[in-house]
Amino acid sequence: MNFITPLFLGFITAFIGITPPGLINMTAAKVNLKEGKRHALWFIIGAVVVIIFQVFLAVLFAKIINRRPDLVTLLREVGLGIFATLTIYFLWLAKKPKDKTKKFKKNSKTNRFFLGILLSGLNFFPIPYYVFVSITLASFKLFSFDMTSIFVFIIGVVIGSYSAFYCYIIFFSRIENKTDFALKNMNTIIGIITGLISIITLLNIIKYYWQ
């Protein structure tokens, strides 16, 4: 059996999914700048632990949906509504993050580990993301829903997620003076990303009904 393909796809999809600025990766960068790399790495480990369970649930859910083409279409329509709502919220309704540099207190590694678990658990994006990813890969015969492929895919996601987070803390440690700018404009950045996803999803829905 080919283990390289699901491992590589898991790595790539995780790296791409985490690369856009978000609450977790930006917090990891902030922890690294204010408390050091060790605390940031514990934060990342906590976040990755939750991602493991999120990906597993997402792929199992995708396995069920993949058998029902009508559910795939419904999922796209629900996803369009969610991402469109998030776009409106982040671009026009959400308040800009406040500069809390002075209030950033140093905590233990254990606290940072559980903070990573908490923030990752509150982030629901990985579940719909990996549902879409696994269904799309399966449609191109690049991924199968047998348990071996699923577990190898999850290993790839873990490696990709950790690598992406690590790149974030290394990158922002080299441009520390620009970190606050990115944090203050985080809502706009996320809004643009969800807006692009909404447009792509809408085009897919139109294409489906046009056929």
Give the separation between CA 147 and CA 143, rounded to whole angstroms. Answer: 11
Residue keyed to tokens 């917090």? 27
- Look up residue 48 and give its two tokens: 């990755």
Cα–Cα distance for residue pair 102/148, rounded to 1 Å: 48
Residue boundaries of the structural domains of the chain? 4-210
| Tens digits of pLDDT across the chain (211 residues) | 578 999 999 999 999 888 777 778 888 888 888 888 999 999 999 999 999 999 999 999 889 888 877 776 776 677 678 778 877 877 787 655 555 444 445 567 788 899 999 988 888 788 888 988 888 788 788 899 999 999 999 999 999 999 999 988 888 776 555 555 655 666 676 677 778 777 877 887 787 677 6
Is pTM beyond 0.75 here? no
- State the Cα–Cα distance between residues 17 and 168, nearest whole angstrom: 13
DSSP code for 146: S
On whether the CB atoms of residues 29 and 41 are closer than 8 A, the answer is no
